[in-house]
Amino acid sequence: MPSKSLLLLLLSSLLFIWLIVGADSVQSNLQPHWSDDESHFNRTLSNILVPRVVGSQGHQQVRNYLIQTLSDLGFKTDVDEFKQRVPIFGDLTFTNVLGCINPQAKNFLALSCHYDSKYFPNDPGFVGATDSAVPCAILLNTAKTLNSYLTAQFQNRTDLGLMLIFFDGEEAFKDWTNSDSVYGSRHLATKLARSRTGPSVGGQTPRTIDRIEVLVLLDLIGAPNPKFSSFYENTHALHRSLVEIEQRLRSSGQLEGNNNMFLNRPSGGFVDDDHRPFLEENVPILHLIATPFPDVWHTPRDNAANLHWPSIRNFNRIFRLFVYEYVRLHKQPVNLRYYRA
């Protein structure tokens, strides 16, 4: 490795530590090289890449697959099931799927995406490859490839746990409005805001939702040339660490092609998505959605044939390292909230 990239790597890991945990306890270990396990990724994706409109058989299969896979990976799994009336279909049963490692921890890093696919009356075969089958496979592949590290870490830590959330019912059944969209995340945010769990803070049991340090939401990933901008000032340092990890991996020859995905700049806008109900509950959000949206978005072409593998591989590598570093560098609660309760 040339000394210039070594220096860059050292500087960026120092910057990351400083930004995330403060200037204390600085140590600059070189990160281990995590293998991709792409055959796991492919297997996982093929299990998810079926039409999975809420209430359909494919939906039930994918829901069960997520629960089983999380449980096989050592996550404590949980479902948040509820009935709700929706346009066109009437009463539907929704199921958010949650997996947790170290559920007793004070705080959580939460990684999320939606697993339902959109209903198109004229396209019953719509599989939503980028929306959001690939994001679901990325979360599971991250958990799989970091599994031995995570399991060892979380045997003995009280500061942090890892939560994976697969939201149901993100898609509108008719036209996207505040009430016809993000059914699952609205239900889950309300539920977590009403319950109090975990170790007490200042003599009070915290609201469960306040134990989430940051909700990372992945959406619309898998098309060529994705660009991810920073949507929220309070999580900009985290976004910037993704920019730096990408630079670090690229300069050490570990990425394919030369598209810079993570832009060190504010998005200058809001994209409505599953994070909205959590944002409204003061949860810090890292929204990893490609903007502009993929060309295939909400068309029959959002399928396996149009996935761009170099982008998927690069995203997996960058994201894996991001999660690893968050866990490794975490020592005490990270409070990025816009306002204090």
Ligand X SMILES: *[C@@H]1O[C@H](CO)[C@@H](O)[C@H](O)[C@H]1NC(C)=O
Of the pair 1, 304, the CB lying nearest ligand X is at 304
**CA-based R_g, the chain, Å:** 19
Nearest by Cα to 78 from 96, 105, 57: 96
Minimum CB–partner distance for residue 190 and Zn ion (Å): 22
Minimum CB–partner distance for residue 136 and Zn ion (Å): 13
Nearest by Cα to 290 from 264, 310, 261, 249: 261
Beta bridge partners of 317: none
Residues that bind ligand X (CB under 6 A): 38-39, 42, 156, 309
Of the pair 27, 39, the CB lying nearest ligand X is at 39
Q: Rounded CA gap, 37 and 185, in Å?
A: 30
- Given 116, 131, 246, 274, the residue binding Zn ion (CB under 5 A): 131
Q: Is 325 a catalytic residue?
A: no
Q: Is 302 a catalytic residue?
A: no
φ, ψ at 228 (rounded to 5°):
-115, 120
Active-site residue, from 219, 246, 302, 325: 219
- Identify the three-state secondary structure at position 33: coil
Of the pair 131, 213, the CB lying nearest Zn ion is at 131
Of the pair 157, 191, the CB lying nearest ligand X is at 157
Tell me which DSSP letter residue 306 carries.
Answer: G
Residue nearest to Zn ion (CB): 131
Beta bridge partners of 81: 95
φ, ψ at 50 (rounded to 5°):
-135, 160
42 touches, from Zn ion, ligand X, none (C-beta below 5 to 8 Å by class): ligand X
Q: Rounded CA gap, 134 and 281, in Å?
A: 27
Residue 12 CB neighbour total at 10 angstroms: 19
Residue 201's identity, in one-letter code, is V
Task: Kindly state whether residue 246 participates in binding Zn ion, applying the rule CB under 5 A.
Answer: no
Minimum CB–partner distance for residue 300 and Zn ion (Å): 13
Of the pair 38, 80, the CB lying nearest ligand X is at 38
Nearest by Cα to 249 from 325, 306, 308: 325
Q: Rounded CA gap, 18 and 25, in Å?
A: 9
Stretch that binds Zn ion, among 48-56, 73-81, 130-138, 332-340 (CB under 5 A): 130-138
| Residues in region 80-119 near Zn ion by CB under 5 A | 118
131 touches, from ligand X, Zn ion, none (C-beta below 5 to 8 Å by class): Zn ion
Active-site residue, from 116, 131, 168, 170: 170
Minimum CB–partner distance for residue 54 and Zn ion (Å): 13
Minimum CB–partner distance for residue 293 and Zn ion (Å): 9
Tell me which DSSP letter residue 88 carries.
Answer: T
Binding-site ranges for Zn ion (CB under 5 A): 118, 131
Query: Which are the catalytic amino acids?
Result: 170, 219
